[in-house]
Amino acid sequence: MRKVLILIFCVLGLIVGVIVGDQMTGVLSWMALGGTIGFTEPLVLDLKVIEITLGFWCKINIGGVIGLVGFALLSKWITSWLKI
């Protein structure tokens, strides 16, 4: 249970951090530095009966890393407070 909660908090921290980093481009432009990892064009397998499309990409920036670390520390504090 504890590991799942920490993982959920890390993913939420990454999402919130990327959003905040993108929004702070005018004020703190260094928070938006980063890039994307993954397939830019989706992979398509067409078998005439069924078509399978596979695509994955992840956007990461400095704000996302800060959010990830912050939420990970917060989750450690919450799990110790709840004694999970």
Report if residue 15 sits inside a domain.
yes
Residue 40 pLDDT more than 90?
no
Q: Into how many domains does the chain fold?
A: 1
Report if residue 68 sits inside a domain.
yes
Residue 26 pLDDT more than 90?
no
Do 56 and 36 contact (CB within 8 A), yes or no?
no
pLDDT tens for each residue of 45-75: 999 999 999 998 888 899 999 999 999 899 8
Residue numbers of the domain that contains 20:
2-37+54-82
pTM of the model: 0.73
Dump strand ranges (E) for 1-84. 34-38, 43-46, 51-54, 57-61
Residue 15 pLDDT more than 80?
yes
